[in-house]
């Protein structure tokens, strides 16, 4: 099964990082967050990726072009321009197939999905964004999708509130808890499983996946929610990036399911 990853946005809220590289290439523990996402999928056996590029897409192309060589020990004959991979490399490159598709600089998320249609074929496929990690059980997600028989499954999550919780009665604070709460509603956590019929819900390049397509799929009874109560964290701000870095450095990265 193919996995589509949206990696073309500008990431303006992380301008400190995205001035020089696209958001999915911001590093956590010395690896792009895109790599972390792909490692998660590959852990469950999904290692055929189609990545929608846009802003600074050439950065992602260079990374994967160089990836195999950087992960192996090499013998290089400078006079002949010959490069030989040595069997004793410290780590074999992942056995992934990665298609890097330019979907336009200003194309919206839905338009990017539609531009991948010819690369995804006519089978069920997975879709996620290139800026968030989780410990979603992808086998359970796929089984859930196949059981209900609808066009689309969206993983929904309940992220902790960032600023604590209080209960008010008029101007009186009846209850205050400084610790983050999980009482907020369910939100789109990405990690979709989709049937090819969803392409019919996307009009053009200006279509936002999160608007008309998902709204109309819901109206037609074709969108199901897979509730994920485990770890989930997007990387929208520098604060989010620092949180993920801290978790990785402290060996508390709940999304790291691989060895």
Question: Which 3 state secondary structure label does DSSP give 206?
Answer: coil
Q: Which residues contact 169 (CB under 8 A, 6 or more apart)?
A: none
Report DSSP letters for 25-81, one per residue.
Answer: G-EETTEEHHHHHHHHHHHTT--EEEEEE-TTHHHHHHHHHHHHHHTS-EEEETTTT
Q: What is the pTM of this model?
A: 0.88
Q: Which two tokens stand for residue 112?
A: 């990017």
The pLDDT tens digits along the chain (259 residues) read 999 999 998 877 787 777 888 999 999 999 999 999 999 999 999 999 999 999 999 999 999 988 877 777 778 888 888 878 776 545 556 889 999 999 999 999 999 999 999 999 999 999 999 999 999 999 999 999 999 999 999 999 987 666 566 667 776 666 766 555 455 578 999 999 999 999 999 999 999 999 999 999 999 999 999 999 999 999 999 999 999 999 999 999 999 999 8
Domains and CATH numbers, the chain: 2-249 (3.90.550.10)
Closest among 214, 223, 243, 219 to 231, alpha carbons compared:
243
Q: Phi/psi class of residue 154: alpha, beta or left (left: φ > 0; alpha: ψ in -120 to 50)?
A: beta
């Amino acid at each position: 099964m193919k996995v589509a990853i949206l990696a073309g946005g500008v990431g303006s809220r992380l301008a400190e990082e995205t001035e020089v590289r696209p958001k999915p290439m911001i590093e956590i523990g010395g690896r792009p967050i895109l790599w972390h996402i792909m490692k998660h999928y590959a852990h469950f056996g999904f290692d055929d990726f189609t990545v929608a590029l846009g802003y600074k897409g050439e950065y992602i192309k260079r990374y994967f072009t160089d990836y195999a060589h950087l992960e192996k020990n090499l013998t290089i004959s400078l006079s002949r321009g010959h490069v030989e991979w040595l069997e004793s490399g410290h780590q074999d490159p992942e056995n992934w197939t990665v298609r890097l598709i330019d979907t336009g600089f200003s194309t919206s998320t839905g338009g990017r999905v539609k531009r991948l249609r010819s690369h995804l074929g006519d089978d069920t496929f997975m879709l996620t964004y290139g800026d968030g990690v989780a410990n979603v059980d992808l086998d359970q997600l796929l089984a859930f999708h196949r059981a209900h028989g609808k066009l689309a499954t969206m993983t929904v999550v309940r992220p902790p509130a960032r600023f604590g919780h209080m209960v008010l009665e008029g101007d009186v604070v009846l209850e205050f808890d400084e610790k983050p709460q999980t009482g907020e509603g369910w939100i789109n956590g990405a990690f979709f499983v989709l049937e090819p019929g969803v392409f019919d819900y996307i009009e053009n390049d200006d279509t936002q996946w999160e608007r008309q397509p998902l709204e109309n799929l819901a109206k037609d009874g074709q969108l199901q929610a897979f509730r994920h109560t485990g770890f989930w964290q997007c990387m929208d701000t520098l604060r989010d990036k620092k949180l993920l870095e801290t978790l990785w450095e402290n060996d508390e990265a709940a999304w790291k399911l691989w060895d």
